[in-house]
Amino acid sequence: MTRAERKKAELRREIIDASFDCFAERGYHATGIADIAATLGIGHGTFYRYFENKRDIVDHVIDDLIAKILTALASENAPNQANSLEDYRAQVARIAEALSRILFADPRIPRVLLFETASIDSDLTGKMFGLLDQSTAVISAYLTHGVDRGYLRAGLDVENTARAVNGMMLSSAIESARPNSTVDCAALDRAIRALMFDGIRSDN
């Protein structure tokens, strides 16, 4: 990459980041191209050299957030990396920590993903449902691998269990998006993992 190409890529990245800030603080509909340009100290013409319009930039903002979430499930956290229940517990803890860094460190992220996108148009709403479907498919892959390896229960309803885990994660994300939330997200994460692995039955 040449120096000019690198600077162009950096500015494009800055425009995406600034757009996210504006959408998160003001809302998509209340944000104008002028707001995004002013945040960076650039002219309208510079913005339009990189993106067609506000609707174009929000697609890139959402795609960027989705990519960060899916990246948390890569490498050592891939579905086929666990070979025992202990491995799987450790893997789930790593994934939970990675997702927490993305979703809980900045409550604006789940707010934009879960609330702003649904108010824009049906295409973006469909993209969010697509993310939900992707998440269900990925969780199903983890569960199927565990059943095949014998460390998860044979006959497990993999698809609906994946949907149930998705539901708990979604509830956690919604809590993190709540303004001035007093919920301890780390404790909530631990409770979700305890429910996944240990259930709620008494030890007696």
Rg (CA), the chain: 20
Residue keyed to tokens 């692995």 = 197
> What is the Cα–Cα distance from 112 to 65, expressed in whole angstroms?
9
The answer on 20 and 114 residing in a single domain is no
Tokens of 57: 């930039």
Indicate left, alpha or beta for 181 from its phi (over 0: left) and psi (-120 to 50: alpha).
beta
Q: Is the residue at 203 inside a domain? A: no
Q: State the residue range of the domain holding 65.
A: 54-198
- Give the angle subtended at the CA of 128 by the CAs of 106 and 89, to the nearest 5°: 65
The answer on 160 and 171 residing in a single domain is yes
**pLDDT score for 33:** 93
**pLDDT score for 24:** 87
Across all residues in the chain, what is the average pLDDT?
87
Helix (H, G, I), strand (E, B) or coil at 122: helix
Please say whether the beta carbons of 33 and 47 come within 8 A. yes
Q: Is the residue at 168 inside a domain? A: yes
The answer on 184 and 139 residing in a single domain is yes
The answer on 184 and 94 residing in a single domain is yes
Q: What is the pLDDT of residues 185-201, one digit of tens each?
A: 788 888 999 999 988 87
The answer on 167 and 131 residing in a single domain is yes
Helix (H, G, I), strand (E, B) or coil at 144: helix
**pLDDT score for 74:** 65
Angle, in degrees to the nearest 10, between helices 185-198 and 158-177: 170
**pLDDT score for 158:** 96
What is the biggest distance separating any 2 CA atoms in the chain, rounded to whole angstroms?
Answer: 69
Q: Sign (positive/negative) of CA torsion 178, 26, 69, 131?
A: positive
CA dihedral 173, 178, 109, 74 (to 10 degrees): -20
Q: What is the pLDDT of residues 123-133, one digit of tens each?
A: 888 888 888 89
The answer on 47 and 75 residing in a single domain is no
**pLDDT score for 94:** 87
Q: Give mean pLDDT, residues 80-100.
A: 88
pTM of the model: 0.81
Q: What is the CATH number of the domain that holds 121?
A: 1.10.357.10
Q: What is the pLDDT of residues 29-83, one digit of tens each?
A: 999 999 999 999 999 899 999 999 999 998 888 888 888 777 776 656 788 888 9
Please tell me the total count of domains within the chain. Answer: 2
The answer on 147 and 129 residing in a single domain is yes
The answer on 123 and 41 residing in a single domain is no
**pLDDT score for 116:** 82
Tokens of 194: 């305890």
**pLDDT score for 18:** 93
The answer on 74 and 10 residing in a single domain is no
